[in-house]
């Protein structure tokens, strides 16, 4: 019989060197399998006499056990190693911090847009957009402001150089042209808000040449002034986060609505501090009305079949009111100290469910 110590060392070192489960398996087969070397030696035991057989049998068994244990141990190690490397390859470092919370801030204008969209979104409005550079038709004529209309003077329009068509494009003076563009392309019923930038050649304590508005438009067959009032009162409650906001609608004039109104909400100003809600004073916050039949017709909608309401409000103004920002011009100073003070954490998205403000 061959030298069992050598055989054992040879097999054990082969096991130790096996670098895959497959390699290990072929070692097992060649040593302990049906025709394996150890198995063959076992078969040879029968030819020995009883004493020799007992001694050789014990030694062979010891070899067999040692090799078999080594294979088992090595197999566990190889499986662990395979799992380790798979895990390492698929590793995602979830300990990496998200964008630092302490640095960037959302501008109050962006925050206010997000809040308005959250509220009207919940009421079934979708967001519409239009270009900042408009033509005369969308900014004025379709909105029932013909060329010689005095309302054109009130708009302090920025005109751009004449285009190839002989017309001078304008920087839109309000978001109302988005009403026109929506009605031209969407078949009613429709319900949209249009937040965006607007421009007027005006600059003082309470005016900046660029500012922001949000427009609202509802067109269907039945919406009336009562729906307009309910919708806007609900908006003010949600936006100012005050359950009881008294509201009043004062008759007013806009060329694109008939009747037209301005909405005031209740407030108090005791001790120099403005508080929205029941009080002894009123604050104007937006313009609104029933869409003028001429506007519907100019946009290709039959005024005998459809009707609806519209509103428009200034974003800076309602942001100043809610967040106690005293000076309009600071919105556009790009002053980091101001932004750190009045800005918002970008990841705290306003929703009605969780709350609009942190
Ligand atoms: N476009 C008006 C403005 O800029 C605001 C406005 C008033 C919009 C009444 C409307 C509305 O849609 O119905 O002053």
pLDDT band at 98 (very low <50, low <70, confident <90, very high): low
36 lines ligand 1 (CB under 6 A): no
pTM: 0.73
Q: Is the dihedral of CA 284, 285, 290, 291 positive or negative?
A: positive
Number of Cβ within a 10 Å radius of residue 295: 23
Measured CA to CA, the distance from residue 83 to residue 80 in angstroms comes to 5
Closest atom, ligand 1, to C-alpha of 257: 13
pLDDT of residue 356: 86
Grade residue 269 by pLDDT with cuts at 50, 70 and 90.
confident
Q: Is 311 in the pocket of ligand 1 (CB under 6 A)?
A: yes
**Residue 198 has what pLDDT?**
98
d(CA 41, CA 36): 9
153 pLDDT band, cuts 50/70/90, is confident
CATH number of 108-342: 3.30.930.10
What residue's CA is closest to ligand 1, atom 6? 312
Q: Is the dihedral of CA 30, 32, 34, 39 positive or negative?
A: positive
The residue ranges of every structural domain in the chain are 4-89, 108-342
Q: How far apart are CA 316 and CA 112, in angstroms?
A: 9
Residue 2: which pLDDT band, with cuts at 50, 70 and 90?
low
Is any atom of ligand 1 closer than 6 Å to the C-beta of 182?
A: no
What does the pLDDT read at residue 303?
Answer: 98
DSSP code for 350: -
**Is residue 314 within 6 Å of ligand 1 at its C-beta?**
no
- Position 357 scores a pLDDT of 82
Distance 261 CA to ligand 1 centre (A): 10
Please indicate whether residue 183, judged by its CB atom, sits closer than 6 Å to ligand 1.
no
* DSSP-derived secondary structure letter, 97: -
Q: Is the CB of 257 within 6 Å of ligand 1?
A: yes
DSSP state of 332: G
287 lines ligand 1 (CB under 6 A): yes
What the block records as the tokens of 73 is 């141990």
198 lines ligand 1 (CB under 6 A): no
* Closest C-alpha to 256, from 345, 351, 354, 173: 173
What percent of the chain has a predicted confidence (pLDDT) above 70?
Answer: 98
Q: How far apart are CA 225 and CA 55, in angstroms?
A: 109
Report the atom number in ligand 1 closest to the C-alpha of 216: 12
Q: Residue 83 corresponds to which tokens in the numbers above?
A: 């799992």
Most ligand 1 atoms within 8 A of CB, residue of 128, 176, 196, 263 to mutate:
176
Computed on alpha carbons and rounded to an integer, the radius of gyration of the chain in Å comes to 40
Q: Collapse the DSSP code of 46 into the 3-class scheme (helix H, G, I; strand E, B; otherwise coil) and give the result.
A: helix
Give the integer Cα–Cα distance in Å for 183 and 215.
13
Nearest residue (CA) to ligand 1, atom 12: 311
pLDDT band at 7 (very low <50, low <70, confident <90, very high): confident
Return mean pLDDT, the chain: 92
């Amino acid at each position: 019989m061959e030298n069992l110590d050598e055989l054992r060392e040879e097999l054990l070192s082969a096991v130790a060197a096996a670098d895959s489960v497959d390699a290990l398996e072929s070692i097992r087969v060649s040593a302990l399998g049906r025709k394996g070397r150890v198995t063959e030696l076992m078969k040879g035991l029968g030819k020995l006499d009883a004493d020799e057989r007992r001694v050789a049998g014990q030694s062979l068994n010891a070899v067999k056990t040692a090799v078999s244990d080594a294979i088992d141990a090595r197999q566990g190690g190889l499986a662990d190693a395979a799992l380790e490397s798979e895990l390492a390859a698929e590793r995602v470092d979830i300990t990496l911090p998200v964008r630092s919370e302490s640095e960037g801030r959302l501008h109050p204008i962006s925050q206010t847009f997000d809040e308005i969209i959250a509220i009207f979104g919940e009421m079934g409005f979708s967001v519409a957009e239009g270009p900042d550079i408009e033509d005369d038709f969308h900014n004025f004529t379709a909105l029932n402001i013909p060329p010689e209309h005095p309302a054109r003077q009130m708009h302090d329009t920025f005109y751009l150089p004449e285009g190839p068509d002989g017309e001078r494009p304008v920087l839109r003076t309000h978001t109302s042209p988005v009403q026109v563009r929506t009605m031209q392309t969407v078949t009613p019923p429709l319900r949209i808000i249009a937040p965006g930038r607007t421009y007027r050649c005006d600059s003082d304590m309470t005016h900046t040449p660029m500012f922001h508005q949000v427009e609202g438009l509802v067109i269907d067959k039945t919406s009336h002034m009562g729906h307009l009032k309910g919708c806007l009162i609900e908006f003010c409650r949600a936006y100012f986060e005050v359950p009881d906001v008294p509201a009043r609608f004062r008759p007013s004039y806009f060329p694109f609505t008939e009747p037209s109104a301005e909405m005031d909400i209740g407030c108090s100003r005791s001790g120099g501090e403005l508080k929205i809600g029941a009080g002894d004073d009123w604050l104007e916050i937006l313009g609104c009305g029933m869409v003028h039949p001429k506007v519907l017709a100019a946009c290709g909608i039959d005024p005998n079949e459809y009707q609806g309401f519209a509103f428009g409000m200034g974003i800076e103004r309602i942001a100043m009111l809610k967040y106690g920002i005293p000076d309009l011009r600071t919105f556009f100073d790009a002053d980091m100290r101001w932004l750190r003070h009045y800005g918002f954490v970008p990841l705290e998205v306003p929703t009605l469910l969780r709350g609009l403000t942190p």
